[in-house]
Amino acid sequence: MLIEQPSLFLRWLYPLAYWRMAHNDHAVYLTFDDGPIPEVTPWVLDVLDHYQVKATFFMVGDNVRKNPETFEQVKAAGHRLGNHTFNHIGGLRHSVHKYMLNVEKANAYIRTDLFRPPHGWMKWGQYIGVLQHHYKVIMWDLVTRDYSTRLNGRDVLHNVQRYTRNGSIITFHDSLKSQDKLLYALPRSIEWLQQQGYAFKVFD
């Protein structure tokens, strides 16, 4: 649970970030980090289209640069776009200035007002800088851990079933390291969420 759901300390550290949406709304917000890549993202789009679900994709700018056709597929499908830096850099290893340059370099390709920091961490100065550049910082209420080599697809599905609640921002990854778990867990997670009566929303 310490990994799947953010600690109170993290929520306190970034108080203006979005960790969970309305608690009285029986809805969830699906998000995908680290794409777009042609090996995984188009399959995710097909699954979302099959279930008529919209999601938010937090994209790495360099992946957008290298895979413009996949990027355009996400846009054409009507999904929300988010910035995940240009090089998927961790904030703790870089100065505020270098971090913000990387964020803005990504946004030259993505053009969005949503931002999620890689690894879920950034220095306080970086956080303030992101806010001053008029981004909404979108964190998570549930990270599925589809990236973990210690979990399989059933474990990822179990995390969704165990931790989802009203307003949950749910994080998957359209990446190679998540692909095998995603193939099993994503369609089954969507089906389970639909059976529980959840609506699927994207950020305003």
| Closest by CA position to 52, among listed 161, 193, 165, 147 | 193
| Closest by CA position to 109, among listed 133, 76, 139, 86 | 86
Catalytic residues: 33, 173
In a domain, 3, yes or no: no
pTM of the prediction?
0.97
- What token pair was written down for 60? 């790495």
Q: How would residue 99 be classed by pLDDT, with cut points 50, 70 and 90?
A: very high
Q: Are 10 and 195 in contact (CB under 8 A)?
A: no
Residue 83: beta bridge partners?
Answer: 59, 115
Q: What is the tens place of the pLDDT at every residue in 43-97?
A: 999 999 999 999 999 999 999 999 999 999 999 999 999 999 999 999 999 999 9
In a domain, 27, yes or no: yes
- The Cα 85–Cα 62 span in angstroms is 9
Element (H, E) at 56: strand 56-59
Residue 59: give the domain boundaries.
8-200
Give mean pLDDT, residues 112-129: 96
In a domain, 139, yes or no: yes
Give mean pLDDT, residues 159-170: 98
Q: Looking at residue 81, which CATH number applies to its domain?
A: 3.20.20.370
In a domain, 137, yes or no: yes
Domain count, the chain: 1
In a domain, 167, yes or no: yes
In a domain, 196, yes or no: yes
In a domain, 59, yes or no: yes
Choice among 8-12, 79-83, 85-89, 129-133 with the minimum mean pLDDT? 8-12
In a domain, 1, yes or no: no
